[in-house]
Structure 1
């Protein structure tokens, strides 16, 4: 099999593995009247160099419909999100990219 086809198959497998669904226990949603980013500037995708502003991190958000791509978000993102399931709280997990999802308190 040519290397180009192997590369495409490998990339397709990676997309499938990373796009797995989100558990209802982990899912968040944006609070009414809130946004994840600056409404004028929009959201920025993370680069291999990280994020441009102090206080931002590369984070994947676990929405009920799936994970977001790695976005540059400020670390107060949990103040603008709420858990889909009652009795859970939003948390940020370290990593590159980090993960924003709900956990048991």
Structure 2
């Protein structure tokens, strides 16, 4: 019985890693503009951001999604789309999503 529980745990762990490691498509990806970055952005807590004027958001970067960080609603002014024919957008939710759209 213990072996089957271990196997289920292993399978669940592998599936969780595969699901979280999905890349970001080039059409959705953003990158920081020259001289910009998110090194000063605090991580979100379980209840969101301490500052009520910030969004808890995942940023769809070229190399993958960022962990949930606190950003202001003008976050797209600091970013550019990898595909220059698209526009950066902030999608509300928890966590919100920052990615490029048509």
- State the TM-score bracket (shorter-chain normalisation): 0.7 to 0.9
Question: Which of 34, 37, 42 is residue 35 of structure 1 equivalent to?
Answer: 37
Matches within 5 A, 1:41-80: 42-80=40-78
Which stretches in structure 2 are left out of the alignment for 5+ residues? Answer: none
* 8 Å contact from structure 1 (residues 36, 77) kept in 2: no
Quote the residue 1:26 is aligned against.
28
The alpha-carbon distance between structure 1 residues 96 and 12, as it changes in their structure 2 partners (threshold 3 A), is farther
TM-score (norm 1): 0.81
Question: Which of 86, 91, 97 is residue 84 of structure 2 equivalent to?
Answer: 86
* 8 Å contact from structure 1 (residues 90, 102) kept in 2: yes
TM-score (norm 2): 0.83
Which stretches in structure 1 are left out of the alignment for 5+ residues? Answer: none
Quote the residue 1:95 is aligned against.
93
The alpha-carbon distance between structure 1 residues 5 and 26, as it changes in their structure 2 partners (threshold 3 A), is same
Q: Which secondary structure does the structure 1 equivalent of 2:60 belong to? A: strand
The alpha-carbon distance between structure 1 residues 88 and 98, as it changes in their structure 2 partners (threshold 3 A), is same
CA RMSD after TM alignment: 1.9
In the TM superposition, residue 34 of structure 1 has moved relative to its aligned partner by 1.6
